[in-house]
């Protein structure tokens, strides 16, 4: 898990509009820009308990 969440210069867990988010992946795109995949954290990664509902993040 440590390796999957370790980006040299960036955020891992963060709040966005009151929703706990996790940076899942980063990649350099063909045009040279950086692509970032972020996903809402719905369950605690350590104990598995729900931490927020699916509908909390607006699309």
- Residue boundaries of the structural domains of the chain: 13-56
Predicted pLDDT of residue 54:
65
Assign 3-class secondary structure to the chain: CCCCCCCCCCCCEEEECCEEEEEEEEEECCCCCEEEEEEECCECCCCCCECCCHHHCCC
pLDDT, one tens digit per residue, over 18-43 is 788 888 888 999 999 999 898 888 88
Please give the mean pLDDT across all residues of the chain: 77
Neighbours of 11 (CB within 10 A): 12
Predicted pLDDT of residue 8:
62
Residue 57: is its pLDDT beyond 60? Answer: no
Q: Supply the pTM of this predicted model.
A: 0.58
């Amino acid at each position: 898990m440590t390796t999957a969440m370790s980006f040299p210069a960036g955020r891992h867990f963060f709040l966005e509009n009151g929703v706990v988010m996790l940076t899942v992946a980063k990649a350099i795109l063909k045009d040279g820009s950086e692509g970032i995949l972020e996903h809402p954290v719905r369950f605690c990664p350590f104990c598995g308990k729900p931490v927020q509902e699916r509908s909390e993040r607006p699309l």
